[in-house]
C-alpha cells in the first residue's frame, strides 16, 4: 500500500487536533510520519510464536516481593511465598523478668495487587529452619525449609494495599498514643516462641546479626485462598524501614519494685539480610497451556505470557533474510518496522492483560540482551547500539487498552536481520512491570496476557500478531 503526501497530511492534521488527548494508548506509535512518505507497507512477513516456560531468577533485592495464590482458569495455579531474615536492633539484653505482651510481624504493602480483592486470604507464618545468610542462591524456584509443625501466627482477611491503619503506639514512661501508619498487614506471633527464641538469648547473639541469624533463622509466610476463588497476588516492600518484627514486653524497671513496658524493633529489610520469594506454577489444570508445552514446534491460535518466571513467547521472523529476494530488489530502505501484537477478545474480570511487555533477544552465548532499538547508551555500563531509539516510550510495548494490543518499534532490529548483520539466536516476549523494563522475569508483577497467533494472508482488519515493514526500494 502506497502513502501519498496528501494522505499523510490528512493524518498529521488529525494527530495535531487530537494531540491534547494523548494518553497511554498512543505509546509506541511514532507520530512523525514524514519518513513514511513514498513508503510501501509490507505486512505479510512470516512470524512464528511459541509458548515456553521462562527461567527461574533471583528474588533478592527486589523492589517488592509477591505473596498470594492465583487460580487462573486458563493458566492454572500460581503460588508465591516469602522467606525473610530477621535482624537484631543491636540490643544487649531484654532485661530481667521479661514478660512478652505481644509480638507483631509488620508487612508494609507495595501498591500493586493483582486478582480478586474481595476474597478473604489466609496468611500463615512459620519459622525457617535454615539460616538464609549462609546461602548464595535465591532463585524463585527454591523451596525454603520451614518447621511445618509450628504455626507462629496467621491472618485471615481481605487485602487492602491502599488503606492506612491506626494503631496503638507504646511510649516508655508515658501513656500509649494512637498513630496512623502506612498500609500494612500486622500478624500477631506466638509469645512463648518469641520469648524462648529471642528474648532469652544472651547478649552475644542479640548484638550481632550473624550470630542472631544462626540462632533465630528467620520467618516464612505463605498464602491460601478458598478452592473455588480466583485468588490474587499482593506485594510487600522490604526496601525501607517499615517491615519489622515488633516485640512489646514488660521488664523490671530501674527503680526497685517497678515494671517498665517497652518495645524492641527487629528490622526486616533487603539491605540487612536476605528476603526471598518462592514462586511455583502448576499447569496440571491448564490443558491448553500444557498441550503447547508438550508440542513446542506447533503454531497455536493463541499463545501465553505469564509473569514471575511463568511463561514467555519465543518469536521468530524466518523469511527476513530473504526479504529482498522476495520483493525482487537488491537494496531495501527500511523506514520503519513495527511488531504488532493483538490480544484475544476475552476480558477476564480479575486477571487483566499485562500493562507492559518486554522484548529481548539472545546473543551467541545465550545471554539476554536488548534488541538494538532498545539498546540505549548507559554511562559506565554499555555503549548501546547506533540504532537505539533512546527512549523506552518510543520503543513501545505498553498496553493499548482501546485496541487491545501492544506495538514495538523495531526498525533497527529488522534492518539488521534483513542485512544479515545480526543473527536471530532467539527473540522473546515476556511480561514486565509497567514502571520498569526487565530482561529477566523478576517476581515484581503478576500480570498475564493471551496473544493471538501470527497469520499470513489475513483478511483486512483481522486481529493477529504481525510485522509491519514500511520500506522503500533503493536503486
* Residue 404 and residue 461 in one domain: yes
Residue 424 lies in a domain: yes
Residue 303 lies in a domain: no
Type and span of the H or E element at 361: strand 357-362
* Residue 159 and residue 124 in one domain: yes
What pLDDT is recorded for position 21?
A: 40
* Residue 388 and residue 439 in one domain: yes
Cα gap 301→322, rounded to integer Å: 26
What pLDDT is recorded for position 173?
A: 63
Domain boundary among 282, 298, 324: 282
Residue 295 lies in a domain: no
Cα gap 472→475, rounded to integer Å: 10
What pLDDT is recorded for position 175?
A: 66
Domain boundary among 262, 282, 302: 282
In our burial notation (b when 16+ CB lie closer than 10 A, e otherwise), range 233-265 reads bbbbbbbeebbbbbbbbebebeeeeeeebbebe
Geometric angle at alpha carbon 95, from 89 and 96, rounded to 5°? 155
Domain of 215, in residue numbers: 65-282
Residue 352 lies in a domain: yes
* Residue 268 and residue 336 in one domain: no
* Residue 16 and residue 136 in one domain: no
* CB-based contact 468:37 (threshold 8 Å): no
* Residue 328 and residue 256 in one domain: no
What pLDDT is recorded for position 442?
A: 95
What pLDDT is recorded for position 10?
A: 38
* Residue 315 and residue 203 in one domain: no
* Residue 48 and residue 93 in one domain: no
* Residue 275 and residue 378 in one domain: no
* Residue 208 and residue 271 in one domain: yes
**Reported pTM:** 0.89
* Residue 36 and residue 70 in one domain: no
End-to-end CA distance of the chain: 19
Cα gap 271→85, rounded to integer Å: 11
* Residue 117 and residue 168 in one domain: yes
Residue 297 lies in a domain: no
Domain boundary among 282, 300, 326: 282
Q: Find residue 378's DSSP bridge partners.
A: 382
What pLDDT is recorded for position 32?
A: 54
Residue 300 lies in a domain: no
CA 440 from centre of chain? 9
Residue 298 lies in a domain: no
What pLDDT is recorded for position 5?
A: 40
Domain count, the chain: 2
Residue 339 lies in a domain: yes
pLDDT in tens, the chain (475 residues): 444 443 444 344 344 333 434 444 333 444 456 667 778 999 999 999 999 999 999 999 999 999 999 999 999 999 999 999 999 998 889 999 999 999 999 999 998 999 999 999 999 999 999 999 999 999 999 999 999 999 999 999 999 999 999 887 766 666 678 889 999 999 999 999 999 999 999 999 999 999 999 999 999 999 999 877 899 999 999 999 999 999 999 999 888 888 888 999 999 999 999 999 999 999 999 999 999 999 999 999 999 999 999 999 999 999 999 999 999 888 899 999 999 999 999 878 899 999 999 999 999 999 999 999 999 988 888 899 999 999 999 999 999 999 999 999 999 999 999 999 999 999 999 999 999 999 999 999 999 999 999 998 888 889 999 999 999 988 6
Amino acid at each position: 500500500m502506497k502513502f501519498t503526501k496528501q494522505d499523510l497530511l490528512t493524518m498529521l492534521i488529525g494527530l495535531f487536533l487530537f494531540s491534547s488527548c494523548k494518553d497511554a494508548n498512543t505509546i509506541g506509535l511514532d507520530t512523525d510520519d514524514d519518513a513514511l512518505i513514498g513508503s510501501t507497507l509490507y505486512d505479510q512477513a512470516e512470524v512464528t510464536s511459541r509458548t515456553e516456560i521462562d527461567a527461574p531468577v533471583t528474588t533478592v533485592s527486589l523492589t517488592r516481593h509477591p505473596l498470594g495464590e492465583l487460580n487462573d482458569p486458563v493458566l492454572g495455579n500460581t503460588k508465591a511465598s516469602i522467606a525473610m531474615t530477621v535482624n537484631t536492633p543491636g540490643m544487649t539484653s531484654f532485661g530481667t523478668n521479661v514478660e512478652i505482651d505481644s509480638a507483631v510481624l509488620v508487612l508494609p504493602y507495595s501498591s500493586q495487587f493483582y486478582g480478586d480483592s474481595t476474597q478473604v486470604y489466609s496468611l500463615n507464618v512459620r519459622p525457617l529452619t535454615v539460616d538464609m545468610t549462609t546461602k548464595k542462591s535465591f532463585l524463585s524456584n527454591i523451596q525454603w525449609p520451614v518447621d511445618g509443625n509450628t504455626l507462629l501466627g496467621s491472618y485471615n482477611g481481605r487485602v487492602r494495599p491502599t488503606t492506612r491503619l491506626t494503631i496503638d503506639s507504646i511510649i516508655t514512661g508515658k501513656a500509649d498514643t494512637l498513630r496512623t501508619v502506612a498500609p500494612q498487614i500486622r500478624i500477631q506471633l506466638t509469645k512463648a516462641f518469641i520469648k524462648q527464641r529471642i528474648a532469652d538469648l544472651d547478649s552475644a547473639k542479640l548484638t550481632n546479626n550473624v550470630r542472631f541469624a544462626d540462632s533465630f533463622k528467620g520467618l516464612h509466610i505463605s498464602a491460601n485462598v478458598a478452592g473455588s476463588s480466583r485468588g490474587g497476588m499482593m506485594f510487600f516492600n522490604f526496601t525501607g524501614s517499615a517491615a519489622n518484627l515488633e516485640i512489646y514486653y514488660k521488664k523490671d524497671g530501674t527503680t526497685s519494685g517497678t515494671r517498665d513496658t517497652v518495645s524492641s524493633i527487629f528490622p526486616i529489610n533487603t539491605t540487612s539480610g536476605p528476603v526471598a520469594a518462592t514462586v511455583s506454577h502448576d499447569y496440571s489444570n491448564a490443558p491448553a497451556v500444557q498441550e503447547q508445552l508438550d508440542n513446542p514446534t506447533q503454531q497455536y491460535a493463541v499463545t501465553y505470557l505469564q509473569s514471575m518466571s511463568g511463561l514467555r513467547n519465543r518469536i521468530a521472523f524466518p523469511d527476513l533474510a530473504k526479504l529482498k529476494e522476495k520483493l525482487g530488489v537488491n537494496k531495501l530502505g527500511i523506514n520503519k518496522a513495527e511488531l504488532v501484537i493483538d490480544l484475544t477478545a476475552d476480558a477476564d474480570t480479575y486477571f487483566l492483560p499485562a500493562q507492559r511487555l518486554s522484548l529481548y533477544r539472545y546473543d551467541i552465548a545465550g545471554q539476554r540482551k536488548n534488541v538494538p532499538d532498545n539498546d540505549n547508551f548507559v554511562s559506565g555500563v554499555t555503549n548501546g547500539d547506533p540504532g537505539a531509539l533512546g527512549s523506552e516510550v518510543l520503543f513501545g510495548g505498553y498496553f493499548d487498552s482501546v485496541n487491545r494490543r501492544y506495538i514495538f518499534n523495531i526498525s533497527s532490529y529488522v534492518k539488521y536481520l534483513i542485512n544479515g548483520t545480526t543473527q536471530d539466536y532467539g527473540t522473546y516476549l515476556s511480561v514486565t512491570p509497567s514502571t520498569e523494563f526487565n530482561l529477566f522475569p523478576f517476581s515484581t508483577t503478576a500480570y498475564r496476557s493471551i496473544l493471538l497467533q501470527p497469520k499470513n494472508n489475513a483478511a483486512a482488519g483481522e486481529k493477529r500478531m504481525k510485522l509491519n515493514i514500511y520500506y522503500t526500494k533503493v536503486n
